[in-house]
Structure 1
Amino acid sequence: MPDAEQLLADALAAARGTDVRQAERALDRLVVGDGPAVDGALLARLVRGVGRLWRRGWQPVDLDRIASRRLAPRGVRLLRDVLAAQRREQPGAVPQWFDDQLAELDARFAGDAGWLDRRAEGDRITALRDAVDALVLVEGLPPIAVLRPPPGGAATTPRVAAPAGASRMLDRVRALLAKAESTTFPAEAEALTGKAQELMARHSIDAALLDATAERPDQPAGVRLGTDAPYAAAKALLIQEVAAANRCESVWSDDLGFATVLGFPADLAAVELLHTSLLVQATTAMLRGRAERRTGSGQVGRRIGSGQAERRADGGRRTRGYDESFLNAFALRIGERLRTATATADREAAEERGDGRLLPVLAARSDAVRERVDQLFPGVTRHRLQVRDAEGWASGTSAADRASLDAGAPARRAVRPGH
């Protein structure tokens, strides 16, 4: 019988192919092979593959996000075990953010012996299939933009101290946005969201001025935010609009299911907080508008007779068109309103200082962010929006009016797919 390495290589080659029967036969041979040797070969190759990903731009949360999209739940948990196992073998310094991400994922490893059987739950065949699928995923991922030096590289400590009271300010913002998400009164949500944006804009200004006087000023950094189905493009558009309002740039990698946001640390924190809250608010408003639409058209409580399948399919298409148009309109309207709020905060801060220094500082930071985008994503293209449902567009715009601040008509910005 071939050794464990050869059995594993055969199983991987078959799993990457299109012949399902061949893949099952290869898996069967893996099952009857030497169990400890097979498990050791799997773990070693997974650990090597995961370690290579860090140098190719991936971070633990990125890997977990795409694994959740492409693997079975048990395969995701198995891959988290591998993350913890790989962490033990890091040859050099490991930055704190890396360990924080592993803790967030609850990645733990109890030791090599019997590691796969611990996940098998009495079903070794399925566990082996999950492990092979995880290895196919890990070894097939493309390189992506390197946002942080990988483990073993240079330390990535902040160059500039955060403005005094930054932690307390972020806690206040989180509390305001949590209230905005939970309230059933649009006017209250508007006021709470507006106050949160005002606080974040002021914090960004303080950070920019502090950075401008530093001996070693910060450079633009980046975060990745998931854009899961359904309506991934609309979610990417919301990220882009919130990013633009906070002096950041966003590039959507639709095939990988995330948007990369580039900007300075204080601005990135604002984007993450505000995007998360507005997505909740937009989804809640969309579901409410969908229910009101059905009630208004007399669809609630109607019995379905002949032609049931056709009407149900048509209704599903109409609902998807409504939802997508709603979310796109919401994102564009919110984006303009937030940009207006940021511009107002900038102007007021400049008037308070009276020395003409603030606006050039902010402009220089925006230029630095755009240069970073050009370096990391030289082949970015634009994606044109299509309005599929006028009622959904109108409802989404109205919901955005209620959810945020005062402004005029929305500028039609395009989502920018990246790589």
Structure 2
Amino acid sequence: MPDADELIADALTAARGADVRAAERQLDRLVVGAGVADGPAAVDAALVARLVRAVGRLWPRGWQPADLVRIAARRLGPPAGRLAVDLVAAQRRALPDPVPEWWDDQLAGLDAAVWWDDDRAYLTAWAAREGTDRIAALRDAVDVLALVEGLPPIAVLRPPPGSTAAATATPRGGSGSRMLDRVRALLAKAESTTFPAEAEALTGKAQELMARHSLDEALVAATAERSDRPGGVRLGTEPPYPGAKALLVQEVAAANRCESIWSDDLGFATVLGFPADLAAVELLYTSLLVQATAAMLRGRTERRPKGGSRRTKAYDESFLNAFALRIGERLRSATEEAGRDAAREPGAERLLPVLAARTDAVRERLDDLFPGVTSKRLTIADEEGWSSGTSAADRASLAASGRPPKAVRGGRPPR
């Protein structure tokens, strides 16, 4: 007589194979809990337990909750992404204290919480919440299990919960939350305005604030007993136009003294840098993606021929590539201006050596985590889209830059 674990193993093997009928037969056995004492309830409990264990094994392999949710939704669809959110919430209960603050912040950003009363009834409750049936719930659960157990190791950007480094790490003060609140307010205005020149000015001011904050943080850290080390964040580059989004990440990262590596197959770009700079990249990328999309939609409307539509893949992608490059120029200009201002202040002679040391540290981190980085060149497929994207990124400019697309670095996760 099979037990629940054997039924799950058989269903998982079939799901990974190419025989659809065999997979459905094994799923039917799982639905009724064929030959298992307590039937469906025992199957549900065993399946949830195996899922939670599998999720927990991802953390030492470099994965973070947001990464798992992102790839589950990308490869299997939104329901699988929501299932992954529940799994990281369930796995949180098994983590030893202390859990790093950033970990719980990430779970809060995902709205990950245990909302069900009993793991034995979880899949039934989840099916009701999703408006589906038990068969569909089990199919999603088995597919997510196959995905989770098949994910490769990726770069460990932060010590995961339970590791010695995570337990001994203490967050350094001076987060600059007031400054970040000012930046968020500026970017919110930039996203909401319909005037490109105003959006440009607001975004440029936000970059200046963050660049100056970064310089201040660098000088403070240089005199601290325990200085910062380069860390990393992952930013999603989901379709459509993942290459253009990766280029935008790269431009924003470069303007904030960070390095960016795109993992196309996993749907994200990894940004390496120091804490204040990483915060700047996250805020700006999120805002500029909204601004770029809005500008692209306006560009379609402005150039739509009578009785037709201007929307083409080539136009949109060229538009976004041009937008990213022009935005990068503007952000770098704002960063350089902040640096010139800082250089005129007392004690500025310390700044250049500190920044040079930080640049070297980020490069070393890049070489350690991504030794096999290659470049991928983006091409212009639509001249009108390129011109429109450049203008949209900087309407106040008198002339377009005419620069060709830049190569985007991409790498496979280290194994």
TM over 0.5: yes
* 218 and 235 in structure 1: CA distance in 2 versus 1, 3 angstrom threshold: same
> Which one of the candidate residues 363, 370, 374 is aligned to 1:370?
363
| 1:410 positional shift | 4.3
In the alignment, is residue 273 of structure 1 matched against residue 278 of structure 2? no
| 1:413 positional shift | 2.7
> Which one of the candidate residues 76, 79, 103 is aligned to 2:108?
103
Matching residue of 2:17:
17
| 1:406 positional shift | 10
Matching residue of 2:36:
none
In the alignment, is residue 392 of structure 1 matched against residue 385 of structure 2? yes
Q: 2:151 and 2:172 mapped to 1: Cα distance?
A: 34
The answer on whether the counterparts of 1:158 and 1:218 sit within 8 Å (CA) in structure 2 is no
| 1:344 positional shift | 2.0
* Residue identity in the other structure for 2:234: R
Matching residue of 1:331:
324
SS at match of 2:235: strand
Matching residue of 1:45:
50
Deviates more, 1:396-405 or 1:281-290: 396-405
In the alignment, is residue 117 of structure 1 matched against residue 124 of structure 2? yes
SS at match of 2:344: helix
> Which one of the candidate residues 89, 92, 99 is aligned to 1:94?
99
The answer on whether the counterparts of 1:249 and 1:369 sit within 8 Å (CA) in structure 2 is yes
- Per-residue CA deviations over 1:130-181 (Å, capped at 9, x if unaligned) read 1101101110111111011111112364564327xx2111111111111111
* 397 and 72 in structure 1: CA distance in 2 versus 1, 3 angstrom threshold: closer
* Residue identity in the other structure for 1:24: E
In the alignment, is residue 188 of structure 1 matched against residue 198 of structure 2? yes
Matching residue of 1:309:
none
> Which one of the candidate residues 205, 213, 235 is aligned to 2:223?
213
SS at match of 1:106: coil
* Residue identity in the other structure for 2:306: G
* Residue identity in the other structure for 1:12: L
Matching residue of 1:401:
394
| 1:70 positional shift | 2.0
> Which one of the candidate residues 64, 78, 83 is aligned to 2:88?
83
* Residue identity in the other structure for 2:73: S
In the alignment, is residue 245 of structure 1 matched against residue 255 of structure 2? yes
* Residue identity in the other structure for 1:218: D
Deviates more, 1:364-373 or 1:229-238: 364-373
Matching residue of 1:6:
6
The answer on whether the counterparts of 1:194 and 1:405 sit within 8 Å (CA) in structure 2 is no
Matches within 5 A, 1:165-184: 166-184=176-194
Matching residue of 1:307:
none
* 273 and 200 in structure 1: CA distance in 2 versus 1, 3 angstrom threshold: same
Unpaired segments ≥5 residues, structure 1: 302-314
| 1:59 positional shift | 0.7
Q: 1:408 and 1:161 mapped to 2: Cα distance?
A: 41
TM-score under structure 2 length normalisation: 0.91
> Which one of the candidate residues 297, 300, 303 is aligned to 1:290?
300
The answer on whether the counterparts of 2:69 and 2:82 sit within 8 Å (CA) in structure 1 is no
RMSD: 2.1
In the alignment, is residue 204 of structure 1 matched against residue 197 of structure 2? no
Q: 2:279 and 2:348 mapped to 1: Cα distance?
A: 28
| 1:103 positional shift | 2.2
Deviates more, 1:152-161 or 1:35-44: 152-161
Matching residue of 1:133:
143
The answer on whether the counterparts of 1:194 and 1:404 sit within 8 Å (CA) in structure 2 is no
* 333 and 157 in structure 1: CA distance in 2 versus 1, 3 angstrom threshold: same
Matching residue of 2:156:
146
Matching residue of 2:173:
161
Q: 2:346 and 2:398 mapped to 1: Cα distance?
A: 25
Q: 2:220 and 2:404 mapped to 1: Cα distance?
A: 32
- Per-residue CA deviations over 1:102-129 (Å, capped at 9, x if unaligned) read 2222222233231111112261111111
Q: 2:191 and 2:352 mapped to 1: Cα distance?
A: 33
* 403 and 253 in structure 1: CA distance in 2 versus 1, 3 angstrom threshold: farther
Q: 1:108 and 1:243 mapped to 2: Cα distance?
A: 32
SS at match of 1:266: helix
Q: 2:278 and 2:206 mapped to 1: Cα distance?
A: 15
Unpaired segments ≥5 residues, structure 2: 34-38
The answer on whether the counterparts of 1:189 and 1:402 sit within 8 Å (CA) in structure 2 is no
Matching residue of 2:307:
299
> Which one of the candidate residues 344, 349, 365 is aligned to 1:351?
344
* Residue identity in the other structure for 1:344: E
Q: How many residues align?
A: 400
* Residue identity in the other structure for 2:295: A
In the alignment, is residue 262 of structure 1 matched against residue 262 of structure 2? no
> Which one of the candidate residues 401, 412, 417 is aligned to 2:410?
417
